[in-house]
Amino acid sequence: MATPVPLPHPPQIPAADPEALRAALPAALREEFDAEWVQVLDRAKQSHSLREIHDLLSKWQHTAAMEIRDPGSYQRLLEKAAQIEAAGGRSTAVSIEDMRALIQQRLQAG
């Protein structure tokens, strides 16, 4: 009988905590996080709401997890978005109405 091969451990996802996220991010992204963090804290002081802080931490938690799994993926995502924007948008994009019609078709066929 063959010896089972152990599965690799999934990468640890950092907590949605500023200190943990900073530690998990590469230096270039840490600078971007810090700049956004300062802006969101200033807005939270004015609004007396923590919602934007939670949203920012969630966004960067996903970004950090993506970078841990595939280093450089965030930069590649930004580059792809810039290419799409420079080309005037996605040429293969489907309107929301067409997408809803397609979903409805599939549900009825189902």
Residue from 74, 60, 79 nearest 14 by CA: 60
How many whole angstroms separate alpha carbon 9 and alpha carbon 21? 20
User: Cβ distance 1 to 55 under 8 Å?
Assistant: no
The answer to the question of residue 89 being in a domain is yes
Whole-model pTM over 0.85? no
CA nearest to 53, candidates 36, 68, 67: 36
Say if 65 falls within a structural domain.
yes
Q: Which domain holds residue 97?
A: 18-109
The domain total for the chain is 1
pLDDT, tens digit (0-9, with 9 covering 90-100), for 65-88: 999 999 999 999 999 989 888 888
Q: Is residue 101 part of a domain?
A: yes
pLDDT of residue 96: 87
pLDDT tens track for 14-27: 999 999 999 999 99
pLDDT above 70: residue 10:
no
Assess if residue 12 is contained within a domain: no
48 HSE (CA, 13 A, CB side): 0
Provide the residue type at 65 as one letter: A
CB atoms inside a 10 Å sphere around CB 44: 16
Residue 9 has pLDDT above 70, yes or no: no
